Amino acid sequence: MILSFGSTAEGAAFPWALAVPALAALVAYAVAAMLPQQGDRAVRASLVIAWLAHAGSIAIDTTGLGSDETGARFGFAPALSVTLWLVIGVYLVESRLLPLTGVRRALALLGAVAVALAAMFPGEHPQVDSRWEPLHWVTGIATYGLFGVAVLHAAMLNRADRQMRQPPQHSSASPAALGLPLLHLERLTFRFVMAGFVVLTATLVLGWWFANPWQWDHKKVFSILAWVVFAALLAGRRAFGWRGPVATRWLYAGTGLLLLAYVGSRFVFEVVLHRPPVA
């Protein structure tokens, strides 16, 4: 369901031009993850450098610089890498405008893991049957990115909700440290859920359109199950006013199914079974 970038084909020379930005991203993410949270400027600067280096590695790999082959590739690890890159990019923009607290180090750690996994399990070139098929891949990437950002906001929402419910004598957080007001954070979360649902719907429609013939497999089944969960979440919020932990549990469940759809199935094929999966 989703496009990924990375690696060379089997037997091709390793694109050493890719090693420099990938290594720089890995080191900068690691630095941002290890710095104390009090060093706000240093953490942000490291995260920005890591994100830019991460972008460079994706661009180099996509254009095939230093490699005999060009074009986008599929793989579970590169899919995670691009997803984390999109999530961190949204966070960097939002954090300039809004007080998004307590997630920088976690994002830096996840970014480092994603870059390392993409280097270890780089993916392969798919067979393109239609010139419009890349549109399906792009919407797949956007779907993962949008729901990744929604999960990030939901995690901050749950954290803020738990801190608000603690007795004052047991809470170590000041009102400013709680970040965004809960209602504002909740609205942001569901805006990303709605956007992700729309793009996921487009991805499924495009996948059905380009499938020749349509075949039921793990990827399609989990993708449709995720769509059903997200549809139920949006319907439940509209009809019953779902919010707080109830809403975030539905969001986590749908996102988990979406991860199983592509990343999970590709992981099983690539790492567990060592079989070439169907893109």
Cα–Cα distance between 183 and 243 in angstroms, integer? 10
Q: Report which of residues 74 and 158 the model is more confident about.
A: 158
Regarding whether 99 and 49 lie in a shared domain, the answer is yes
Of 57, 90, 124, the one marking the end of a domain is 124
Regarding whether 110 and 135 lie in a shared domain, the answer is no
Regarding whether 151 and 135 lie in a shared domain, the answer is yes
Regarding whether 182 and 54 lie in a shared domain, the answer is no
Torsion sign across C-alpha atoms 176, 178, 179, 181 = negative
Distance of CA 69 to the CA centre of its chain: 26
What's the rounded mean pLDDT across residues 194-212? 89
Question: Could you report the per-residue pLDDT of 25-41, keeping only the tens digit for each?
Answer: 999 999 998 888 665 78
- pLDDT for position 12: 45
Apex 259 CA angle, 44 and 151, nearest 5: 45
Quote the pTM value. Answer: 0.84
What's the rounded mean pLDDT across residues 109-137? 79
For residue 15, cis peptide bond before it (omega within 30 degrees of 0): no
What's the rounded mean pLDDT across residues 63-84? 76
Picking from 14-18, 140-144, 207-211, 253-257, which range would have the lowest pLDDT averaged per residue? 14-18
Of 92, 109, 124, the one marking the end of a domain is 124
Whether the predicted pLDDT of 230 surpasses 70:
yes
Structural domain count of the chain: 2
Cα–Cα distance between 251 and 264 in angstroms, integer? 18
Regarding whether 138 and 118 lie in a shared domain, the answer is no
Regarding whether 149 and 279 lie in a shared domain, the answer is yes
- pLDDT for position 77: 84
Apex 192 CA angle, 190 and 193, nearest 5: 60
pLDDT bracket for residue 119 (50, 70, 90): confident
Cα–Cα distance between 8 and 242 in angstroms, integer? 46
End-to-end CA distance of the chain: 7
- pLDDT for position 209: 81
Regarding whether 142 and 41 lie in a shared domain, the answer is no
Of 124, 140, 159, the one marking the end of a domain is 124
Whether the predicted pLDDT of 266 surpasses 90:
no
Whether the predicted pLDDT of 252 surpasses 60:
yes
pLDDT bracket for residue 184 (50, 70, 90): confident
Please write down the HEC assignment for all residues of the chain: CCCECCCCCCCCCCCHHHHHHHHHHHHHHHHHHHCCCCCHHHHHHHHHHHHHHHHHHHHHHHHCCCCCCCCCEECHHHHHHHHHHHHHHHHHHHHHHCCCCCCHHHHHHHHHHHHHHHHHCCCECCCCCCCCHHHHHHHHHHHHHHHHHHHHHHHHHHHHHHHHHCCHHHCCCCHHHHCCCHHHHHHHHHHHHHHHHHHHHHHHHHHHHHCCCCCCCHHHHHHHHHHHHHHHHHHHHHHHCCCHHHHHHHHHHHHHHHHHHHHHHHHHHHHHHCCCCCC
Regarding whether 161 and 256 lie in a shared domain, the answer is yes
**One-letter amino acid for residue 47 of the chain:** L
| Close Cβ partners of 48 (under 8 Å, ≥ 6 residues apart) | 92
Which residues on adjacent β-strands are paired with residue 74? 124
Mean pLDDT of the chain: 81
Cα–Cα distance between 215 and 210 in angstroms, integer? 11
Whether the predicted pLDDT of 105 surpasses 60:
yes
- pLDDT for position 86: 96
Regarding whether 132 and 74 lie in a shared domain, the answer is no
- pLDDT for position 125: 65
Regarding whether 241 and 254 lie in a shared domain, the answer is yes
Regarding whether 265 and 137 lie in a shared domain, the answer is yes
Find the domain containing 211 and state its range. Answer: 127-168+177-279
Whether the predicted pLDDT of 170 surpasses 70:
no
Torsion sign across C-alpha atoms 160, 166, 171, 175 = positive
Please give the share of the chain, as a percent, with pLDDT higher than 70.
Answer: 77
pLDDT bracket for residue 212 (50, 70, 90): low
Regarding whether 36 and 85 lie in a shared domain, the answer is yes
